[in-house]
Structure 1
Amino acid sequence: MPLPKRTGPLQQVHREVDDIRRKLDSLLKDVQSKAESKEEAFRRCQELQTSAEKTLNDLTKLTKADELAPVGNYDQRKLEEEGRLQNILEQMNKLSLELSPPGPSFEPPRGDKLKDKNSEKSLEDSDDDNSDEDVDNKCCGDESQAPKPSSLSEPCIYMALSDFKGDQEGDLSVQKGERLNIIRKTSDGWWLAEDSKGNRGVVPRTYLKIGSNISDKDKDEEEEEEESEEDEEEGDSEELDDEEKHSDATHSNWSTFRKALTEIDATDVLSAMGAIPSGFRPSTLNKLLVEEDAKYKGSFQMQPQLSQSQLSFNDLFLEPDTGRVRSRHVKTCVCFTLWSCKRIPTPGVGVQVLSRHIRLCAYDGTQVLSNIHTVRVSYNTKSPKTWTFSPRTSGLLGRLTRAKPPICLSQTVGVLPTLLNGDCFLRCNSDSPDLGILFELGVTFIRNSTGERGDLSCGWAFLKLIDAAGNQIPNRTYELPVSGGTPYEKDVRVEASLTKGSPAGVFQQMLQARRQPTLIIKLQSPGSRTKASLSLLPDTLLYCLSCVHLLALYRQILADALLVDRATMQNADLICSPVLSTFPTLVDQPDLLDAVRMAWMNAESNMSRGQKRDEAYLKQEFFKVYMASAYSLLNSPTLPAYRWADPVSEEWRSRVISSTLEELKNASGQSGSQEAFAESAAHQQLAFDVAEMTFDLLQATR
């Protein structure tokens, strides 16, 4: 008789998952056929949840070294089992909600069902402490305390970093700077919190920061208030019926708690599939750029800023002698180059990457202080973990023009589109000693199975611009470590290469440090002409360095319209200027800004040296070039709307822009060609809207 084949831990887990799957299918059939009562089905569901969570906990602790014999594709098979268990737990959670009563059970809450080891420990301690109490008091205590999630984990004080408006049932709307009492922390990123008014709900953890800046005096006042409230509640409990007092709060808390149990973040699903390396998170800066206030867009920063009296401008003045925009020197003005990123993990199977990019902004450790600028990576499939920027050779430019979608480039070798240009500048007037540049490495992806789009952060890096003495850091090359998680999380690594149980000696730590992702940045000094143009820009702006001359020219036209041509400084009538009304939108559509830049370079090549020195002539020619290029494209019915990382839209826009620039270049040698080109019947335009021609000072100013 042959001996039975020995099975390893992973094979044993596989059998346990199969057994749980069979029991769940049997339970679902019994629930559909109503073969047993809801109470019995709910009890079976809880037992299955306990068994599945125990199996998942054992599976996460397994390593390849635990196997009795070598196992092929160990990591992939382990991820498959984790995915199966996650799907089973998701079905159990939904079934548990269907079978559970409208309020919480009078039995002590199950720590294994809550997936929280700390809650298990706290429940066990509470059971031990109450073991010697009277039976009646114990029952009453369970009735009053069971629905309170505060017994599940130790509460702590956090502060809201920005406003959050709850759009679904169970969300808690908070204001920036508001202190919250965290009742329960969950792995999906939605924490159960309570505000100062006693309202409870879930809040994203990325909006919260530990309340370390709360003074001791405030803490003492809070403790006194809590003690007084507890005394009042004890006095009221002697006069009021406990069931009537807690019925409404119990139902509300239980619905919020059940919602937190059933929510599964998309990143958790993709992580179980093996499509997301460890340390990846939903993009924080993309959420601010897309879903939050418009102040994080470059178009907002390009608008003039009113002074405190609202009767003049704060960042736009004229030199009385020359009539030019007055130079403004800010506290921090740096030029830098994104050089490369090394050892960046790649998403796994199941997702298609639409864009690899870096989002960057001014940051002081707490909040974003500027617009959010995006630079796309020049990706090479031969080196998937290395990201590069700013290719300047003709061979690379040729590959970019033949890429799908193609990038619109001028015929001049060495000219890069704004989206790919890693040469950037930052102007910021903040006096924070922690001021720096935040770099978020990200990917835009689409799931092959569902077609769902998403933006992930592959890690982040921070370059502090002010040293301990309060001076700006020197111009040199910096190699920044890339951390995982979000900027509000600490000590999160991206796909750590050392496995559990590996030796942690000095040599191993050195090797581990060399395997961690890094971002290389080079700070450099701008030329005198670039420095003069930078001084004409708004006090706060982060953008591509190659567009500085266009932005400075726009600021000069803006100053003429607001400070020279207006009858009085108190006049707020509409100004007829298509350049002022539409140019800021080009900052958020870099392909159209490239079209203006290339058309202007072509026009400058036909100017004499004297014409280039004549500012009045330059403004007049820029108006003609702008109307024939950007304005014509903005109102063209053939140009699709700008959408980030949409290959079809980008390819279509590139073709329309390229054909328009080619026609404009061919007509550049004829007298009055630009006006005729803009008014040609061959170029159809959308229906006229007066907003295209009018600049509203009251709506545009910040």
Structure 2
Amino acid sequence: MAPRKKGPLQTVQKETDDIKKGVDALVRDVNRLGESDRTETLQRCSDLQNVVTETLGRLKKLTKADESAPIGNYDQRKRHEEERLRTLEDRLKALELQLQPQDKDAGPSSEEAEEDSAEEVSEEEDDSEEECEEGDGHDDKTKDEDDAEADEAADNATKKGDGSYVALSAFTGEEEGDLTVQKGAVLRILQKNEDGWWLAQDSKGNRGLVPRNYLKVISQHERGQESEEEDSDDEQGDGNEIAEGKPRALHNWDTVRKAITEIDATDVLSAMGAIPPGFRPSTLSKLLEEGASYRASHFIQPKLSQSELCFKDLHMDPDTGKVHSRSSRVCLTLTLWSCRMIPPPGVGLQVLSRHVRLCAFNGTEVLSNIHTVRATYSPNSPKTWSFSPRMSSMLPCLLDGDCFIRCDSDSPDLGILFELGITYIRNSTGERGDLSCGWAFLKLFDENGAPIPLRTQEIAVHGGTPYEGEADVDATSTRRGTSTGVLQQMLMSRKLPKLIVKLKSPSTRTREQLNLLPDTLTGCLSTVHLLALYRQVLADALLLDRVTMQNADLICNAVLATFPEVLDQPDLMDAFRKLWVESENNLRRSEKKDIAVMKKLFESVYMSSVFPLLYSAEMPGPLWADENTENQRARLIYSPDHKVTKETMLSPNHTHKAFDISQVTYDLLTSAWR
């Protein structure tokens, strides 16, 4: 029998093993290196770095769909391989520093030069220089001891490269490879992965992955105190690192230099007095920037069951031919009314957008997509945000405070997380950024597991992040409990930041439509009927029109292929809704009850409205809170001169982007797995 062909991930694992062997051999050769061999060894180090970079690039592009056979814990294995490659990359960087050519006329040796340079940076490294002098007498060590110390030195270079962080909240590892930490624990970051899971090491030497939003960098003052405490311990047991010609002072200088060059923008703005102390970098905005994992386009897709042989949340009712209705633990509607006593930023910042981002949350994890509602603002009331302004025309999705939320999590702490945020631009530098002005959490179940009453809720807004605990949004605001009088407490409570939200039970018609949607999803209430029709079209294509349920070929359907992308662009959804309402009003009552007629109309309106705009060469890509881009897109969407007809589509003045097969093909495996 022919040997089984290795999958892409297994191939990368084999390549990583080969790279590690090459790095280990390079470390052994460095210990007995002569001046004549330095150039050749440096070239070997450079070649290995190129191989690591190339392998990392291919690993990032791999997906579960690339594998010819199912692989258990695929994401965890991929993350582990990336961790190994990052570690090898850091070891090679440390070796490259050691192999850099030295100036022979400079007088002192390379070790002495490094120690002198470190002494100029920090006086705290006097102890390290003493250790280095003691280490000069270890010339009679065996080759095996030299090899082991070289590996340890390279590993220490990786450990000390990214500084120290403190855990803002306790984290319990759920999978193999996670690191369990307690609140307040000091961790050293070994590797910062792009997926938000950082490789960390605690004080006991345990290593594992920790979510980056649980961590806060230690300030320079705190880091100095920590360094003084560690120096006394390191004098006794950390001499090997100095003996190999890599003083700890050099690594500390790298940390200090990195801290100086990468000062957090929020710290700068706080020091300038441009923002209140409770403001932080936006947590939910960062999640949205990381990809589609927290967007509606991801959650609207059907999910495969555990066996991956059928769909988990998409079934047909055999009696009616419609999508089978599915109830969810949480299925309600809410209305954002206003935000009160939200401190505005100071001078020097131009606010481009004030908005509220909301999602399902259990205290530690975001469980749904993140939905954004933009607030309206009046300079006459700078601390008040409002929603759903009165308009003569159709209210845009982005401004609509009527939302829905569905979530099927069984967590006892399930609730809704609201993050009040602004997008700003600095007048002096033109730098854009997103800040959190505070957060609020509404727990949807009481201690007994019963749902909370559906009524208007006044939720306290806290500063910081959900992982820091409760803090004041503005230090100048009156704190709770400072007064004993009832009247004084009532007056002071009016000065505290609050978010006013009204929870409602959906109407019978709306609940029927919501139950056709995925088990977990949040969004604008005015789009529910369109989402329900999309799920019906999706079910027909996946459950009825396929030759067999085992067939996974590409499906030729432009609506299925592109509607999720449109769902993430509110202005295109508004154009779709507008034309849909006009077309639906022309139908007879009997036609509105005919699901076949409604599905056909859905596809027709979509293809004649937003699909051509989606691939128009004149349409700029969406850019959040950019007024020029939003105005240009609005002119193309609503201008009568750009109305989509057969004549304009075939006109030489109407240009389109280059055709790609993904515009008209739907890949059910990729969509269900991503």
Decide whether aligned partners of structure 1 residues 599 and 681 sit closer, same or farther in structure 2, where only a CA change above 3 A counts.
Answer: farther
Match of 2:667 in 1: 696
Shift of 1:482: 0.5
Contact 2:282 2:434 in 1 (8 A): yes
Could you list the per-position Cα deviations for residues 466-511 of structure 1 after superposition, in whole angstroms to 9, with x for gaps in the alignment?
Answer: 11110111110000010001111123101133589x9755466554
Asked whether 1:585 is paired with 2:556, we answer: no
Q: Kindly state the Cα deviation for residue 264 of structure 1 after the two structures are TM-superposed.
A: 2.4
Aligned partner of residue 355 in structure 1, secondary structure:
strand
Partner of 1:272: 271
Report the Cα distance in structure 2 between the residues aligned to 1:603 and 1:564, rounded to whole angstroms: 27
- How far residue 309 of structure 1 moved from its aligned partner, in angstroms, is 1.0
Aligned to 1:519: 499
Pick one of 602, 605, 627 that aligns with 1:622: 602
CA contact (8 A) 2:513 2:528 kept: yes
In structure 2, the residue matched to 1:307 is 305
Partner of 2:283: 284
Q: Which residue of 1 aligns with 2:378?
A: 380
Could you say if the C-alpha distance between residues 104 and 205 of structure 1 is closer, same or farther in structure 2, counting changes exceeding 3 Å? farther
Change beyond 3 A, Cα 1:361–1:468: same
State yes or no: 1:450 paired with 2:429.
yes
- Distance in 2 of aligned mates of 1:154 and 1:597: 48
Aligned residue identity for 1:522: K
- Paired residues of 2:128 and 2:247 also in contact (CA < 8 A): no
Percent identity of the aligned residues?
A: 54
Contact 1:157 1:179 in 2 (8 A): no
**Contact 1:332 / 1:426 at 8 angstroms: preserved in 2?**
yes
Distance 1:682 1:254, change over 3 A: closer
Report the CA distance between 1:199 and its aligned residue: 9.4
> In structure 1, what residue type is equivalent to 2:606?
Y
Distance change >3 Å, CA 514–CA 458, structure 1 → 2: same
- Alpha-carbon distance, 1:447 to partner: 0.6
Measured in 1, the distance between the counterparts of 2:640 and 2:173 equals 43
CA contact (8 A) 1:282 1:456 kept: yes
> What is the CA–CA distance in structure 1 between the aligned matches of 2:497 and 2:233, rounded to whole Å?
54
SS across alignment from 1:424: strand
What aligned pairs does 1:489-638 form with structure 2 within 5 A after superposition? 489-497=468-476, 505-506=484-485, 510-638=490-618
Q: What is the TM-score normalised by the length of structure 1?
A: 0.65
Match of 1:206 in 2: 213
Contact 1:627 1:678 in 2 (8 A): no
SS at match of 2:639: helix
Distance 1:242 1:432, change over 3 A: closer
User: The residue matched to 2:467 in structure 1 has which SS?
Assistant: coil
Matches within 5 A, 1:176-191: 177=179, 179=181, 182=186
Separation in 1 of the partners of 2:200 and 2:632?
A: 47
Distance 1:471 1:504, change over 3 A: closer
Deviation at 1:178, TM superposition (A): 5.2
Distance of aligned partners of 1:455 and 1:202 in 2 relative to their CA distance in 1, 3 Å threshold: farther
Q: Is 1:103 aligned with 2:132?
A: no
Q: Is the Cα–Cα contact under 8 Å of residues 354 and 645 in structure 1 kept in the other structure?
A: yes
- Structure 1 pair 159/233, CA: closer, same or farther in 2 (3 Å)? farther
**How far has the Cα of 1:610 moved from its partner?**
1.6
Q: How far apart are 1:194 and its partner, in Å?
A: 3.2
Q: SS where residue 102 of structure 1 aligns? A: helix
The one-letter code sitting in structure 1 at the alignment partner of 2:117 is P
Matched, 1:356 2:327: no
CA distance in 1, matches of 2:630, 2:173: 33
Match of 1:103, SS?
helix
Alignment CA distance shift 1:201-1:267 (3 Å): farther
Alpha-carbon distance in structure 1 between the residues aligned to 2:649 and 2:173: 45
Q: Deviations for 1:591-636, whole angstroms, at most 9, x for unmatched residues?
A: 1011111111000111111211221111112211111101011011
The CA RMSD over aligned residues, in Å, is: 4.2
Q: Cα–Cα, structure 1 residues 233 and 384, in superposed 2: closer, same or farther, change >3 Å?
A: closer
Task: Count matched residues.
Answer: 511
Map 1:230-379 onto structure 2 (within 5 A). Answer: 243-244=242-243, 247=246, 249=248, 251-260=250-259, 263-290=262-289, 292-379=290-377
Matches of residues 409-424 of structure 1 in structure 2 within 5 Å? 413=392, 415-424=394-403
d(CA) in 2 for partners of 1:209, 1:451 = 27
Q: Secondary structure at the match of 1:341?
A: strand
The one-letter code sitting in structure 2 at the alignment partner of 1:275 is A
Report the secondary structure of 1:311's partner residue. coil
Shift of 1:333: 1.1
Structure 1 residue 295: Cα displacement:
1.4
SS at match of 2:274: coil
Would the alpha carbon gap of residues 555 and 358 (structure 1) be closer, same or farther in structure 2, given more than 3 Å must change?
A: same
Counterpart amino acid of residue 206 in structure 1: N
User: What is the letter of the counterpart of residue 537 of structure 1?
Assistant: L
- Rounded to whole Å, the distance in 2 between the matches of 1:436 and 1:310 is 30
2:165 and 2:535 map into 1 onto residues whose CA distance is 55
Q: Is the 8 Å Cα contact of residues 334 and 402 (structure 2) preserved in structure 1?
A: yes
Shift of residue 373 of structure 1?
0.6
Q: Distance in 1 between matches of 2:173 and 2:634?
A: 37
Q: Which amino acid aligns with 1:182?
A: V
1:465 is matched with 444
Tell me the secondary structure at the aligned position of residue 457 of structure 2. Answer: strand
Q: 1:343 to 1:107 in 2, by over 3 A?
A: closer
Q: What letter matches 2:432 in structure 1? A: R
Provide closer, same or farther for how the CA distance between residues 272 and 306 of structure 1 changes in structure 2, counting only shifts above 3 A. same
Letter in 1 for 2:668: L
Alignment deviations for residues 35-94 of structure 1 (CA, whole Å, 9 cap, x no partner): xxxxxxxxxxxxxxxxxxxxxxxxxxxxxxxxxxxxxxxxxxxxxxxxxxxxxxxxxxxx
Gaps of 5+ in 1: 1-97, 111-134, 164-173, 186-190, 211-229, 398-412, 665-673
Letter in 2 for 1:429: D
Structure 1 residues 441 and 497, CA, compared in 2 at 3 Å: closer, same or farther? same
| Alpha carbons of structure 1 residues 183 and 105: separation in structure 2 relative to 1, 3 Å | farther
Say which SS state the counterpart of residue 578 (structure 2) adopts: helix
Is the contact between residue 348 and residue 428 of structure 2 (CA under 8 Å) also seen in structure 1?
A: yes
The CA deviation string for residues 497-550 of structure 1, in whole angstroms up to 9 with x for no partner, is: 3589x9755466554432111000100111111000000001110101110000
Going from structure 1 to structure 2, the CA distance change for 1:183 and 1:567 (only over 3 Å counts) comes to closer
Q: Is the 8 A contact 1:353 1:445 kept in 2?
A: yes
Counterpart CA distance in 2 for 1:326 and 1:499 is: 52
* Distance in 2 of aligned mates of 1:485 and 1:555: 39
CA–CA distance in structure 1, aligned partners of residues 447 and 647 of structure 2: 59
Q: Output the amino acid matched with 1:265.
A: D
